[in-house]
């Protein structure tokens, strides 16, 4: 069996490590930080993500049993700040889980499957200098956005509110608010992430794409403050907050065209391969699934060149069509009235509302939405 190094122990790396170790490979999982460790993000775990981690033996009942903080999500709201919104219930359940908690669950699964772990920082594409290229037969690059092509930026803060100050819907609903101050494709979010106790923790943030950010002529912190001030929902929640942590900024590596995910015996997965959803910024599902499919490429191949070729093929087969559909929708939304029209249609057409909500929640792929909306 080949020796495999997985650089980065986030969801993508742990998924690849779990499946490769289960297949009998000698797997070294490395990360620049020891576990448990935090990661700044929106904390949303889509329905597709929940299905993906089930392949690692993590099921919803395990999350409820093992996670110290979580929030089951049964509703998704899409809206335009202070103008129009639509909330739709989903039959399947998503979650919001602080990454400090979620990543630890996946890490423990990878270690339990047989991965060995070391703390090591690997600089960008410096495989030869640090001896990895000669020491291992295959290198899986799962270093996250730092190894990908950054094309978006986001910021999030944690707020704590009393349960009595929130509606029951607010405890189970992931809210996404488009806001012109954030650019055509920019949006703000309000996600409950810990709802088991009397004090409720929310993840509140905004995301903007770099091609629009440069035209906004302000920094991300000011955009965050502007969104909070302009949006009626966030403004009210902030007035009731018991405490709030300072906001933290983080980059995103969303999908791009003409993506190559293999280079020699280096396989890029997750954010390192720009697999984050270009519409919602959700990256967990594709990260976990890319780890699984990269492991399959290793298992079905006899040489490094075959591994690289098969991983590129599996990427194109399982990810590219949906990511291209999302990029087409993103381009379509550049028309100034498109966000409003989209939500207006959702309010008036139950089928459209269900399709859009299920796509955002990760139940159905975007390319199916594009097809269904033609009829």
In the DSSP assignment, the letter for residue 164 is: G
Q: Note the pLDDT of residue 256.
A: 86
User: What is the number of alpha carbons within 13 Å of residue 130 lying toward its C-beta?
Assistant: 14
pLDDT of residue 37: 84
CA atoms within 13 A on the CB side of 325: 17
- Highest mean pLDDT, choosing among 20-24, 118-122, 132-136: 20-24
Helix (DSSP H) and strand (DSSP E) numbers for the chain? 14, 15
Among 2-6, 140-144, 273-277, 338-342, the range scoring the smallest mean pLDDT is 338-342
* 109 pLDDT more than 90: yes
- Which residues are CB-neighbours of 147 under 8 A, at least 6 positions away? 8, 124, 125, 141, 268, 271, 272
> Would the pLDDT of 235 be above 60?
yes
Q: pLDDT band at 162, cuts 50/70/90? A: very high
Task: Give the least confident one: 263-272, 282-291, 364-373.
Answer: 364-373
Mean pLDDT of the chain: 91
Residue pair 294/288 in contact (Cβ under 8 Å)? The answer is: no
pLDDT band for 71, please (50, 70, 90 cuts). very high
123 vs 343: CA distance, rounded Å? 44
pLDDT for 33 beyond 90: no
What pLDDT does 373 receive? 59
Query: Is the peptide bond between 305 and the residue preceding it cis, with omega within 30 degrees of 0?
Result: no
Give the residue-averaged pLDDT of 195-209: 96
329 against 246, higher pLDDT = 246
Task: pLDDT band for 339, please (50, 70, 90 cuts).
Answer: confident
- Three-class secondary structure of residue 141 per DSSP: strand
pLDDT at 97: 95
For the stretch 192-224, what's the b/e string if a residue is b when 16 or more beta carbons lie within 10 angstroms of its beta carbon? bbbbeeeebbbbbbbbbbeeebeebeeebeebb
Residues 309-332 have a mean pLDDT of: 92
Query: Percentage of the chain with pLDDT > 90?
Result: 72
Q: What is the pLDDT of residue 268?
A: 96
Confidence at 52, pLDDT banded by 50, 70, 90 = very high
Which CATH architecture does the domain made up of 3-69+99-149+254-332 adopt?
Answer: 3-Layer(bba) Sandwich (3.50)
Highest mean pLDDT among 120-124, 145-149, 227-231: 227-231
Whether the predicted pLDDT of 224 surpasses 80: yes
Note the pLDDT of residue 121: 79
Please give the model's pTM, rounded to 2 decimal places.
0.93
pLDDT reading at 129 higher than 70: no
Task: Considering only residues 368 and 354, tell me which one the structure prediction assigns the higher pLDDT.
Answer: 354
Helices marked H in 217-349 — which ranges? 220-230, 232-240, 284-299, 304-315, 321-332, 338-348
Query: What percentage of the chain has pLDDT greater than the value 70?
Result: 97
The C-alpha atoms of residue 151 and residue 292 are separated, in whole angstroms, by: 25
Q: Does the structure show a pLDDT above 80 at 316?
A: yes
Check: CB of residue 159 under 8 Å from CB of residue 204.
yes
pLDDT at res. 95? 95
H-helix or E-strand spanning residue 30: strand 26-31
* Domain boundary assignment for the chain: 3-69+99-149+254-332, 152-246, 338-372
Supply the pLDDT for residue 285: 95
Identify the H or E element spanning 204.
strand 199-209
Interstrand relation of 266-268 and 187-194 (parallel, antiparallel or unpaired): unpaired
Q: Give residue-wise pLDDT tens across range 3-13.
A: 999 999 999 99
Structure tokens at 318: 């399982």
**Residue 217 confidence (pLDDT):** 85
For 354-370, what is the mean pLDDT? 85
- pLDDT score of 375 more than 60: no
């Amino acid at each position: 069996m080949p020796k495999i190094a997985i650089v980065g122990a986030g969801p993508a790396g742990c998924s690849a490590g779990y499946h490769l170790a289960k297949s009998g490979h000698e797997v070294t999982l490395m990360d620049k930080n020891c576990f448990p460790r935090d990661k700044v993000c929106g904390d949303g775990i889509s329905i597709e993500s929940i299905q993906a981690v089930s392949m690692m033996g993590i099921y919803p009942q395990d999350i409820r049993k093992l996670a110290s903080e979580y929030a089951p999500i049964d509703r998704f709201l899409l809206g335009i700040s202070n103008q129009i919104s639509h909330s739709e219930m989903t039959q399947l359940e998503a979650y919001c889980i602080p990454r400090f908690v979620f990543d630890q669950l996946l890490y423990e699964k990878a270690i339990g499957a047989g991965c060995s772990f070391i703390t090591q920082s690997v600089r960008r594409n410096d495989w030869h200098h640090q001896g990895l290229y000669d020491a291992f037969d295959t290198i899986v690059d799962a270093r996250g956005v730092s190894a990908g092509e950054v094309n978006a930026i986001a910021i999030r803060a944690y707020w704590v509110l009393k349960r009595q100050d929130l509606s029951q819907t607010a405890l189970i609903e992931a809210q996404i608010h488009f806001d012109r101050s954030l650019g055509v494709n920019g949006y703000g979010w309000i996600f409950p992430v810990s709802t088991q106790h009397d004090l409720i923790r929310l993840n509140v943030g905004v995301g903007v794409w770099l091609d629009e950010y440069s035209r906004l002529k302000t920094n991300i912190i000011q955009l965050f403050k502007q969104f909070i001030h302009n949006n009626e929902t966030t403004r009210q929640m902030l007035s009731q907050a018991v405490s709030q942590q300072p906001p933290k900024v983080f980059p995103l590596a969303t999908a791009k065209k003409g993506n190559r995910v293999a280079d020699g015996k280096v396989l890029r997965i997750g954010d390192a391969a720009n697999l984050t959803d270009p519409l919602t910024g959700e990256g967990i599902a594709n990260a976990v699934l890319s780890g699984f499919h990269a492991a399959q490429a290793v298992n079905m191949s006899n040489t490094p060149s075959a591994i690289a070729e098969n991983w590129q093929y599996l990427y194109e087969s399982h990810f590219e069509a949906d990511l291209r559909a999302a990029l087409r929708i993103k381009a379509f939304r550049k028309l100034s009235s498109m966000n409003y029209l989209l939500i207006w249609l959702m309010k008036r057409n139950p089928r459209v509302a269900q399709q859009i909500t299920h796509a955002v929640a990760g139940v159905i792929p975007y390319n199916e939405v594009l097809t269904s909306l033609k009829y």
